[in-house]
Amino acid sequence: MRHGKKHNHLGRKTAHRHSMLANMANSLIEHKRINTTVAKAKALKQFVEPLVTKSKEDTTHNRRLVFAKLRQKDAVAELFRTVAPKVGDRPGGYTRIIKLGNRLGDNADMAMIELVDFNEIYNAGKATKKKTTRRSRRGGAATTDTATASKADKDQKKAAPAKTKKDAKKEEE
């Protein structure tokens, strides 16, 4: 019985599975997106997301922990140098799985797994948002920046008298 055993074995022995996931993670970090089967993509997501979380804090200890999993020096350097600064403010969910349909040869479900912040197509329309805090149970919900800015604009309009046509003509002269 497999009570409480939640990870997918992918039809491989343990050493083969760990090596395959490490190689796939290295490719994902290098190319920012890879095509694979849905089952492997889901297993890779569980493998790589804790590594990206560790890379957000650049310490020697975290580098060694990540290197123990990836076993490739270039991938570790790329992860800490380029990937970590882009995902620094994101609280998880660093990868996205997009299903692509079935493979022609064996009809396997295919998927593309990619690092979320490196896809310019999805991020093009979105403006960069400021980091918002989560609501707490205590009173005094924080006001947003747009609400305070619009309130300040209204106060300025009330304080400043409206210009008339005569005032505009005097300024032109």
pLDDT, tens digit, for every residue of 25-49? 999 999 999 999 999 999 999 999 9
Q: Using CA atoms, how far apart are residues 58 and 78, in angstroms rounded to an integer?
A: 12
pLDDT at 152 over 90: no
- Mean predicted lDDT score pLDDT of the chain: 85
Pick the more confident residue, 23 or 173: 23
Q: Return the SS3 of 37.
A: strand
pLDDT in tens, 54-96: 999 999 999 999 999 999 999 999 999 999 999 888 999 999 9
- Domain 14-118 sits in CATH at 3.90.1030.10
Q: Using CA atoms, how far apart are residues 97 and 38, in angstroms rounded to an integer?
A: 8
Q: Return the SS3 of 30.
A: helix
With cut-offs at 50, 70 and 90, classify the pLDDT of residue 122. confident
